């Protein structure tokens, strides 16, 4: 008669559970510190109206950042987001100016965004063009096309009640922020609970090993860029509703805020590691920094310098914390 051995799982300590979220905890501390500093030096920073503005500004970065997280986790990068948002918003504005139905205009913008994203995906996945080069080409082409089509002037169209509602608030919260949170929940589910999400992490961790395991690496690469283009189109709709015009100069530099939010959130630029929660906190940190500097009256050129220094400092702090956590876990 053999004796059966019953093993009891050893419960993880609180410190062990927290060690897995050191990056997110560090970002929460940084955000609290930023709120304390800007709340003290900038009158009106903590007001309800300004918190609504932070949500609205953050949604412009966040919607695109969810897809950018998957792109970077897959070991790629997409720097065409800003010009793509501007280009799609201009085309939708022209469609509305020519009295096309709103549903057709917006759906056309979404389809166009997915197609433009898939172009970058095909260049990377099939023709093996580095993603930085592929999206840099799109960045230049789309920005130039948007400026050429509009002669660098805003494209106006008749008032539209639906767009006015999209650009407004619901229960005091910007509709764009509600859309951002809904999409956040979807991307969290996809990245953590689906085969697609696991495949993205596998491709970013080791593309050759992922291919040997039967993962369609080319298909994953095309898909993440397609999602990035689709989220750029959603951002374009939010921007169109907010501004009430199509503007080729809009969303200038958005791609850098999006990438900064993702990287500050702890996603590794080498691929294979990152989380949507980290990106959410990174986007909030970037938005709070920008809003606080504006309210404090910092010169716009100096704002870029200060923002860059804070971003690099935040990344270094999180990297150092992650290394300490790794050493403690050994």
Q: Choose among 243, 261, 240: nearest CA to 68.
A: 261
pLDDT at 300: 81
Tell me the CA distances in angstroms from 162 to 119, 143, 288, one per residue in order.
31, 27, 29
pLDDT of residue 16: 53
Predicted local distance difference test score (pLDDT) of residue 329: 53
pLDDT above 90: residue 146: yes
17 CB neighbour count, 10 Å cutoff: 10
Helix (H) / strand (E) containing 245: strand 245-246
The predicted pLDDT at position 316 comes to 77
- Asked, for residue 282, whether it belongs to a domain, the answer is yes
pLDDT computed for residue 209 by the predictor: 96
pLDDT of residue 261: 92
Closest CA to 62 of 242, 285, 214: 285
What per-residue confidence (pLDDT) applies to 8?
Answer: 44
Q: What average pLDDT does range 108-131 have in this prediction?
A: 97
pLDDT band (50, 70, 90) for residue 9 = very low
pLDDT confidence bin for 13, thresholds 50/70/90: low
CA distances from 205 to 71, 75, 128, 142, 271 (A): 12, 8, 18, 31, 6
pLDDT value at 169 more than 90: yes
Query: What pLDDT score was predicted for residue 68?
Result: 97
Residue 321 has pLDDT above 70, yes or no: no
pLDDT of residue 6: 42
pLDDT classification of 1: cutoffs 50, 70, 90: very low
Which candidate, 186, 230, 244, places its Cα nearest to that of 85? 230
What local confidence, expressed as pLDDT, does residue 41 receive?
92
Residue 29 lies in a domain: no
Helix and strand numbers, DSSP H then E, in the chain = 14, 4
- Examine residue 328 and state whether it is found in any structural domain, yes or no: no
pLDDT of residue 238: 97
User: Does residue 40 sit within a domain?
Assistant: no
Please tell me the predicted confidence (pLDDT) of residue 186.
98
**Is there a domain that residue 10 lies in?**
no
What is the reported pLDDT for 299? Answer: 83
For the segment 257-293, what is each residue's pLDDT rounded down to a tens digit?
A: 999 999 889 888 888 889 999 999 999 999 999 999 9
pLDDT at 43: 84
Task: Give the residue-averaged pLDDT of 231-244.
Answer: 96
Cα–Cα dist 305/155, whole Å: 32
Q: Residue 278 sits in a domain of what CATH number?
A: 1.10.3470
- Does a structural domain hold residue 143? yes
pLDDT at 38 over 80: yes
Mean pLDDT of the region 166-189: 96
Q: How far is CA 291 from the centre of its chain?
A: 18
Confidence category of residue 114, pLDDT binned at 50, 70, 90: very high
pLDDT, tens digit, 9 for 90 and up, residues 46-99: 999 999 999 999 999 999 999 999 999 999 999 999 999 999 999 999 999 999
Q: Residue 314 sits in which domain range?
A: 45-320
Of the candidates 134, 143, 144, 90, the residue with the CA atom closest to the CA atom of residue 112: 90
In a domain, 218, yes or no: yes
Mean of the per-residue pLDDT values of the chain: 90
Asked if residue 325 has pLDDT above 60, the reply is no
Indicate whether 1 belongs to any domain: no
Total domain count, the chain: 1
Give pLDDT, residue 14. 57
Q: What is the mean pLDDT of residues 291-305?
A: 86
């Amino acid at each position: 008669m053999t004796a059966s051995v019953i093993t009891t799982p050893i419960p993880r300590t609180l410190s062990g559970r927290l060690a897995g979220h050191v990056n997110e905890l560090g970002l929460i501390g940084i955000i609290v510190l930023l709120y304390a500093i800007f709340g003290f030096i900038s009158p009106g920073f903590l007001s309800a109206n300004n918190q609504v503005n932070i949500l609205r500004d953050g949604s412009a970065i966040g919607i695109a950042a969810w897809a950018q997280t998957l792109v970077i986790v897959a070991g790629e990068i997409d720097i065409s987001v800003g010009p793509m948002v501007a280009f799609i918003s201009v085309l939708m504005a022209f469609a509305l100016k020519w009295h096309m139905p709103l549903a057709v205009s917006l759906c056309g913008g979404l389809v166009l965004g997915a197609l433009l994203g898939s172009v970058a995906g095909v260049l990377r996945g099939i023709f093996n063009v580095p993603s930085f080069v592929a999206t840099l080409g799109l960045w230049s082409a789309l920005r130039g096309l948007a400026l050429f089509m509009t002669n660098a002037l805003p494209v106006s169209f008749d008032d539209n009640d639906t767009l006015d509602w999209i650009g407004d608030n619901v229960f005091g919260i910007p509709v764009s922020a509600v859309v951002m949170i809904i999409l956040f929940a979807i991307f969290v589910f996809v990245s953590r609970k689906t085969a697609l999400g696991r495949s993205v992490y596998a491709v970013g961790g080791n593309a050759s090993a992922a291919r040997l395991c039967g993962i369609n690496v080319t298909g994953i690469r095309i898909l993440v860029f397609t999602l990035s283009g689709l989220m750029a189109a959603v951002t374009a709709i939010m921007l169109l509703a907010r501004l009430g015009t199509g503007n080729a100069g809009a969303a200038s530099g958005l791609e850098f805020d999006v990438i900064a939010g993702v990287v500050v959130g702890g996603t590794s630029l080498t691929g294979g590691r990152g989380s949507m929660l980290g990106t959410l906190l990174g986007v909030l940190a970037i938005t709070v920094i920008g809003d606080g500097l504006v309210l404090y009256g910092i010169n716009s050129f100096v704002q870029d310098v200060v923002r860059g220094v804070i971003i690099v400092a935040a990344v270094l702090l999180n990297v150092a914390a992650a290394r300490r956590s790794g050493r403690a876990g050994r």
